[in-house]
């Protein structure tokens, strides 16, 4: 039987050429030509004051937490339905995380329930654009403005996606992207910090370069450099930037292919009454980062994943609500019930979506999903409903 994996890395073919070029320039550490090319690409796309390549989105989020000046006792509002790093980056600075629920119609943070979570200790809100679909940023920005909070976009999945025509990652004060191998554009492990508020530009370069003013030195703005602030080593080596550049050059063709696959799923899976398809609010575009659906019950999801696997198709669930994690239990933070986050934890399923996935394969997957719902349903193979 043919098997279809959930994800498969795709290479443009230019990665090796650019890596060879980077090596022949005799520079292997970071902040060289390819790093500058990648950063300029994003500065132009986003209109950010400054973009800095990092070794991961987690790193970029850690830089955000440092730039925001998060200290012990501060509170940061984060959706419960997200990857660990969204919260962890702020916990490392001593923050207490206040978890927010997701919307009813999609896993993004419920902007209507946000203001009730703000206290005098709140410093920042971290919206996550789940599956590259925008959160309602105008409402979030208005809450932030009323309470003098920073907005830090976790745009890990959100490359080339828009909110009311504005690129995601350009709207908050700060934003973080990921180039992990599972993302639309990837270099194995990699990330990017976008700075959209000029107040943070100077300090961001210092944190990035191990607490030194080395970046200014290399631009010839000062004649020696030294230790001036906190920081870490957040920059990737040039050959990683070279790899990433090959992928960024192919952004348009990658996006087109992914959107074709996404649309095939969306059209072919209409009309299954207990399977909810993604909802795109009219302010959001789709960058086809993921194709997910929400089953009616956890038992149905388990049975669907098992059924697909027995037919050679690897589908997967996603996050486990962070407010119910062992880590959060050990913190003894007060946590509220977040029923939507739990619903996505229990019922959301993602189907294969990668560049090399063939139209025939997408059709096959959709047929299997449909046959699960027509033939298996009556046999009560997924328990009480």
Please count the residues of this chain forming the interface with ligand PLP, following the rule CB under 6 A: 14
Catalytic residue among 50, 113, 164, 183: 183
Which segment (6-14, 51-59, 249-257, 265-273) binds ligand PLP by CB under 6 A?
51-59
128 binds ligand PLP (CB under 6 A): yes
37 is catalytic: no
Which segment (2-10, 54-62, 216-224, 307-315) binds ligand PLP by CB under 6 A?
54-62
Which segment (1-9, 135-143, 151-159, 337-345) binds ligand PLP by CB under 6 A?
151-159
Q: Min. distance of Cβ 34 from ligand PLP in angstroms?
A: 18
Q: Min. distance of Cβ 175 from ligand PLP in angstroms?
A: 11
Selected binder of ligand PLP within 30, 167, 191, 278 (CB under 6 A): 191
Nearer to ligand PLP, 213 or 286 (CB): 286
Which segment (65-73, 82-90, 211-219, 237-245) binds ligand PLP by CB under 6 A?
82-90
Selected binder of ligand PLP within 12, 48, 80, 82 (CB under 6 A): 82
Which candidate, 4, 96, 108, 7, places its Cα nearest to that of 319? 108
Q: Min. distance of Cβ 159 from ligand PLP in angstroms?
A: 11
Q: Min. distance of Cβ 1 from ligand PLP in angstroms?
A: 31
Q: Min. distance of Cβ 84 from ligand PLP in angstroms?
A: 8
**Residue 162 forms beta bridges with which residues?**
167
Which segment (112-120, 149-157, 253-261, 269-277) binds ligand PLP by CB under 6 A?
149-157
Selected binder of ligand PLP within 19, 53, 57, 206 (CB under 6 A): 57
Nearer to ligand PLP, 111 or 154 (CB): 154
**What phi and psi, each to the nearest 5 degrees, are found at residue 4?**
-120, 115
Sequence-separated (6 or more) residues with CB below 8 Å from residue 116: none
Strands 75-79 and 50-54: unpaired
Q: Min. distance of Cβ 360 from ligand PLP in angstroms?
A: 29
341 binds ligand PLP (CB under 6 A): no
180 binds ligand PLP (CB under 6 A): yes
Selected binder of ligand PLP within 48, 85, 161, 321 (CB under 6 A): 85
Q: Which residues of the shown chain bind ligand PLP in the complex (CB under 6 A)? A: 56-58, 82-83, 85-86, 128, 154, 156-157, 178, 180, 191
Residues annotated as catalytic are 183
């Amino acid at each position: 039987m043919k098997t279809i994996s959930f994800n498969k890395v795709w290479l443009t073919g230019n990665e090796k050429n650019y890596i060879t070029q980077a090596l022949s320039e005799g520079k292997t550490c970071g902040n060289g030509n390819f790093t500058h090319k990648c950063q300029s690409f994003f500065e132009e796309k986003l209109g950010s004051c400054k973009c800095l390549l990092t070794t991961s989105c987690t790193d970029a989020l850690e830089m955000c937490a440092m730039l925001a000046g998060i200290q012990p006792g501060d509170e940061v509002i984060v959706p419960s339905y997200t990857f660990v790093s969204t919260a962890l980056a702020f916990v490392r600075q001593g923050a207490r995380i206040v978890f927010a629920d997701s919307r009813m119609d999609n896993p993004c943070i419920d902007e209507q329930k946000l203001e009730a979570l703000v206290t005098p200790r709140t410093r920042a809100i971290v919206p996550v654009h789940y599956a590259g679909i925008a959160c309602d940023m105008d409402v979030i920005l208005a809450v932030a403005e009323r309470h003098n909070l920073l907005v830090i976009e976790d745009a890990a999945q959100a490359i080339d996606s828009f909110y009311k025509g504005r690129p995601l990652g350009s709207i908050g004060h700060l934003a973080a992207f990921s180039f992990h191998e599972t993302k639309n554009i990837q270099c194995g492990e990699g990330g990017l910090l976008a700075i959209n508020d000029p107040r943070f530009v100077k300090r961001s370069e210092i944190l990035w370069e191990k607490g030194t003013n080395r970046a200014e030195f290399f631009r010839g703005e000062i004649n020696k450099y030294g230790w001036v602030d906190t920081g870490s080593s957040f920059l990737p080596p040039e050959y990683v930037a070279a790899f990433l550049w090959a992928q960024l050059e192919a952004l348009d063709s990658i996006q087109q292919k992914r959107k074709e696959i996404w649309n095939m799923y969306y059209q072919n899976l209409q009309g299954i009454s207990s399977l909810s398809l993604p909802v795109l609010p009219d302010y959001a575009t789709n960058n086809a980062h993921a194709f997910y659906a929400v089953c009616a019950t956890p038992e149905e999801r388990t049975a669907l994943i098992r059924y697909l696997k027995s037919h050679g198709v690897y589908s997967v669930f996603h996050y486990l609500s962070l407010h119910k994690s062992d880590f959060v239990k050990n913190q003894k933070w007060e946590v509220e019930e977040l029923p939507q986050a739990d619903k996505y934890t229990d019922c959301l399923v993602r189907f294969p979506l990668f560049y090399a996935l063939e139209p025939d394969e997408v059709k096959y997957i959709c047929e299997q999903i449909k046959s699960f719902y027509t033939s298996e349903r009556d046999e009560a193979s997924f328990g009480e409903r």
